[in-house]
């Protein structure tokens, strides 16, 4: 999560919401890819940290299936990112701060654990939650 937090801090320079993500290899020892929000920097509404990290991880391993991998992200994924997590077949999602307004991994919705879907990653929430929330709260307070 500390790597994801460092990634999130990079988003602030371009005025993006500070969310960072990393994708870990199946054994958890290697960072396959990372990303931070780049919506403002690129003008791309899909440039969320999770989407960018998943794209880069898939390119790194040469396959769209990220079976066995873990995505670590500072903020609970939204519906778009939760859908991408299910589609990429990651085994585990670890997030820091809950998102009561748009979270889709347990807060507002629970898309990633919906029994009707063919893949349901494990969800671990609240890792360094206070630090993750503090970064976001500070960003919005300053704006």
Residue 119 annotated as lining a ligand binding site: no
Per-residue model confidence (pLDDT) at position 60 = 97
Residue 36 annotated as lining a ligand binding site: no
Per-residue model confidence (pLDDT) at position 32 = 98
Rounded to an integer, what distance in angstroms lies between the CA atom of residue 55 and that of residue 23?
A: 10
Per-residue model confidence (pLDDT) at position 143 = 86
Domain architecture of the chain: domains with CATH:
1-135 (3.40.140.10)
Per-residue model confidence (pLDDT) at position 27 = 96
Residue 48 annotated as lining a ligand binding site: yes
Catalytic residue flag (residue 131): no
Query: Which residues of the chain are under the pLDDT cut of 70?
Result: none
pLDDT in tens, 93-111: 999 999 999 999 999 999 9
Residue with tokens 């919906």: 114
Residue 39 CA: distances (Å) to CA of 8, 16, 28, 64: 13, 7, 28, 23
Per-residue model confidence (pLDDT) at position 86 = 98
CA pseudo-torsion sign 50, 55, 61, 63: positive
Estimate the share of the chain in helix, then strand, then coil, as percent rounded to the nearest 5: 40, 20, 40
Question: Of residues 9, 50, 130, 131, which has the active-site annotation?
Answer: 50
Per-residue model confidence (pLDDT) at position 89 = 98
User: What is the Cα gyration radius of the chain?
Assistant: 14
């Amino acid at each position: 999560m500390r790597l994801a937090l460092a990634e999130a801090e990079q988003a602030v320079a371009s005025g993006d919401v500070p969310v960072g993500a990393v994708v870990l290899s199946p054994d958890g020892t290697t960072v396959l890819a990372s990303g931070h929000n780049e919506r403002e920097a690129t003008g791309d509404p899909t440039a969320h940290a999770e989407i960018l990290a998943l794209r880069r991880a898939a390119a790194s391993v040469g396959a769209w299936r990220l079976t066995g991998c873990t995505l670590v992200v500072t903020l609970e994924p939204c519906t778009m990112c939760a859908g991408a997590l299910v589609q990429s077949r990651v085994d585990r999602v670890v997030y820091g701060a809950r998102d009561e307004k748009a979270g889709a991994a347990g807060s507002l919705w629970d898309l990633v654990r919906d029994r009707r879907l063919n893949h349901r990653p494990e969800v671990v929430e609240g890792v360094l939650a206070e630090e993750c929330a503090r970064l976001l709260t500070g960003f919005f307070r300053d704006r």
